[in-house]
Amino acid sequence: MTTPSTAPTKALLEIKGLTKEFGGLKAVNNFDMDIYPGELVGLIGPNGAGKTTVFNLITGIYVPTAGVIRFRDTKLIGFQPHEITQMGIARTFQNIRLFPNLTVLDNVRIAYHIHAGYGMFDAIVHNKNYDRHEKALTERAQEFLSVFNMHTRQGEIAKNLPYGEQRRLEIARALAASPQLLLLDEPAAGMNPKEVVELMDLIHFIRERFNLTILLIEHQMRVVMGICERITVMDFGEVIARGTPEAIQNDEKVIEAYLGRGAAALSQRLREKRSHVA
């Protein structure tokens, strides 16, 4: 992987001066971020720092108060969420949002709706065009599920799946919308350590397999430090640090934001002590 800051390629996603105010509260303030093709970037910060708001702004659920978001040189502001998905940005949600009463297969097939290839009339009369496209669509959804090793569960109702499988299905469904950029909102939330390891493997796998760029919000440091190449830290809606995982781990501002001023001072002292010893 090339180091992003010196990468000659153009940014896939470019965010400049992004601001969102809810009444008097600045949930996101002057947020900048560039994501280059093929990167895996982490966005971390304490609770309420505005991470999910950034996701909602990128995907068009909120309209920003100020700022610019560019995806492959297209300005995203003013587009509807479904249009942004069709442009190639897919996401998962912090609290899983599957279609709970539908089967695993239908969850994935819904993501293919935008490529269905037949109209309402074809559907109503069930003509040749419908048959052909519906069959192709179903086969593709099944093949797709088999990539995630879920093809044997195609008929199961989504809400009956175990938690880890639901996460996996949600990621699979997001990928079925054939995105170039995948936004994962706390994918490891509520997972046990074994599931977390599986998730990290899954993220590595999909990234290689689908040639993806990934932006990840995560609380579990193990995940973030383990897989991200670059991390942006937010607090109170502003970026307080950015850099490689190693740099972030030692950043005073980050420690202060996460653990408080006292802890920052303590870590400073510890570091001084260590340097004395050395």
Partner 1 sequence: MNTQRSTLIFWLVFLGFLILIQALIGTGLLSNFWATLLKIGAVMSIVSIGLNLIYGFNGQFSLGQWGFYAIGAYTAADITYRWTQLHNASGLVVVLLVVLLVSLAFFLVAKIVSRLRGLDALSAFTLYLIGLLIAAILAVMVGKGLIAPITNILNLLPAEWAIQIVFFLAVILGGCIAAEISYIFGLPVLTLGSDYFGIATLGFTIIVKVLLDNSDTLLGFTEMKGARGMVGIPKLTSWIWVAVFLIAVLVVTRNLLHSSHGRAMISVREDEIAAKAMGINVAQQKTITFVLGSFFAGLAGALYAHVNGFLHPNTFNFIKSFDPMIIVVFGGLGSVSGTVVAAFTWALVLEGLLRLVLPQGFETWRFVVYPLLLLIMMLLRPQGLFGAFEFPYLRQVLPRPFQPRELHQPPSPADEPLNNGA
Find the binder of partner 1 among 17, 22, 25, 82 (CB under 8 A).
82
Answer for which of 27, 137, 181, 264 binds partner 1 (CB under 8 A) is 137
> Which residue type sits at 89?
I
Residues whose CB falls within 8 Å of the CB of residue 209, separated by 6 or more in sequence, listed in order = 147
Closest distance between partner 1 and the C-beta of residue 252, in Å?
A: 37
Nearest to 198 by CA among 158, 228, 164: 164
CB of 203 to partner 1, least distance (A): 15
How many residues belong to the site for partner 1 (CB under 8 A)?
A: 67
Q: Which of 149, 141, 65, 74 is nearest to 103 (CA)?
A: 141
- Residue ranges of E strands in 63-131: 66-71, 74-75, 89-91
**Distance (Å, rounded) from C-alpha 74 to C-alpha 118?**
28
Is 126 a residue that touches partner 1 (CB under 8 A)? yes
CA distances (Å), origin 197, targets 93, 182, 193, 215, 220: 19, 19, 6, 18, 12
CA pair distance 262, 255, nearest whole angstrom: 10
Least Å distance, CB 85 to partner 1, is 4
> Of the two residues 102 and 221, which places its CB atom closer to partner 1 in the complex?
102
Question: Residue from 22, 139, 193, 246 that binds partner 1 (CB under 8 A)?
Answer: 139
In angstroms, what is the minimal distance from the CB of 179 to partner 1?
7
Binding mask 155-174 for partner 1 (x = CB under 8 A): x-----------------xx
Q: Which helix (H) or strand (E) holds 270?
A: helix 261-277
Residues in 211-250 that interact with partner 1 by CB under 8 A: 211-212
Binding site for partner 1 (CB under 8 A): 59, 61, 78, 80-82, 85-86, 90-91, 93, 97-103, 105-106, 109-120, 122-126, 130, 133-134, 136-140, 142-147, 151-152, 154-155, 173-180, 209-212
